[in-house]
Amino acid sequence: MPDTPAHVPSHVAIIMDGNGRWAKLRGLPRIEGHRRGVETVRNVIDAAKELGVRYLTLYAFSVENWKRPQDEVGALMSLLEYFLKRETATLVKNKIRLRTIGRTQDLPEPVRRQLDAAIAATAQFTEHTLVLALNYGSRTEVVDAARAYAAAVAAGTVNLNNDSWETFARHLYTGDLPDPDLVIRTSGEYRVSNFLLLQAAYAEFVFTPVLWPDFSKTDFAAAVETYAKRERRFGRTSEQLKSAPCL
Ligand code: FPP
């Protein structure tokens, strides 16, 4: 597959927010908002592939989300299980590999079973990757990475006299994934909420007031368009980039 054109982000990560408010505005239970949110997930996966985005990461359940009412947590887990059961065939048809980041070992067994099946069924694809952040939080990720790093130091596979960010980053859940180029948050909130804090160090951010269930393919394309108009400098000056854009 050719490289992604420069104006298209290779990796888009999304904080899907606003399901509860969408439902409340309509006098519906919060879970209806999540249900509609799953439809948006389907559309956005399609839109990302159509635009040539190679990696799409969706923040589907955070480590903090366990604090929600038990029935909402249960409903979210059921939705996830249902989504995986129903969508695996489409992922295979569209040649999209599924990956996860987060402490998925702590998810309910039926969800883990569906995840394992979907991951196995799509493992051979390389052009497009869907990453679900599940039971994910950046701070727990750093704790887990530090533990793995310490083990690697003890085993002698990492030398502390000669380490680097790249060496450490390989121990994050995202060790074999590129950093996100664009992070989108829906619903008019301006927070990062413990999402990819280290990986998004140089990402562009787009915040939109649209609630996640209403977020359309056109909204996704508009966010990508906004990204395309930004100048990413990675610490350099504008003049340096103009004279040697590939430095
Ligand atoms: C935030 O909205 C959304 C979530 C915590 C869950 C997102 C889950 C889905 C879109 C459905 C399941 C996902 C997949 C991948 C099948 P909120 O409830 O915090 O909204 P609010 O801020 O308006 O209350």
Q: Domain count of the chain?
A: 1
CA 20 to centroid of chain Cα atoms: 20
**Is residue 42 assigned to a domain?**
yes
Is residue 59 helix, strand or coil? strand
**Is residue 4 assigned to a domain?**
no
Mean pLDDT of 221-238: 85
Task: Note if 106 is an active site residue.
Answer: no
Q: Which residues sit opposite 183 in a β-bridge?
A: 13, 205
Q: Which of 25, 34, 62, 64 to mutate to test the pocket of ligand 1 (most atoms within 8 A of CB)?
A: 34
Model confidence at 231, pLDDT cuts 50, 70, 90, reads confident
**Is residue 1 assigned to a domain?**
no
- Following DSSP, what letter does each residue of 86-141 receive, concatenated? HHHHHHHHTTEEEEEES-GGGS-HHHHHHHHHHHHHHTT--SEEEEEEEEE-HHHH
CA 233 to centroid of chain Cα atoms: 23
Per-residue model confidence as pLDDT tens digits over 15-42: 999 999 999 999 999 999 999 999 999 9
**Dist. CA 173–CA 171, nearest whole Å:** 7
Mean pLDDT of 224-229: 95
**Dist. CA 32–CA 182, nearest whole Å:** 28
**Is residue 3 assigned to a domain?**
no
Cβ(203)–Cβ(183) below 8 Å: yes
**Is residue 143 assigned to a domain?**
yes
Pocket of ligand 1 (CB under 6 A): 16-21, 34, 37-38, 41, 58, 60, 65, 79-80, 83, 132, 187, 212
Q: Could you tell me the residue range of the domain that residue 165 belongs to?
A: 11-243
Closest CA to 90 of 130, 62, 33: 130
Per-residue model confidence as pLDDT tens digits over 148-165: 999 999 999 999 988 899
**Is residue 43 assigned to a domain?**
yes
Cβ(35)–Cβ(79) below 8 Å: yes
**Is residue 189 assigned to a domain?**
yes
- Is 60 exceeded by the pLDDT of residue 182? yes
Cα of 94 vs centre of ligand 1, distance in Å, is 24
Task: Note if 176 is an active site residue.
Answer: no
**Is residue 6 assigned to a domain?**
no
Q: Which two tokens stand for residue 52?
A: 């040539």
- Is 90 exceeded by the pLDDT of residue 242? no
Cα of 232 vs centre of ligand 1, distance in Å, is 30
- For residue 168, the domain's CATH number is 3.40.1180.10
Active-site hit among 3, 19, 46, 65: 65
pTM over 0.75: yes
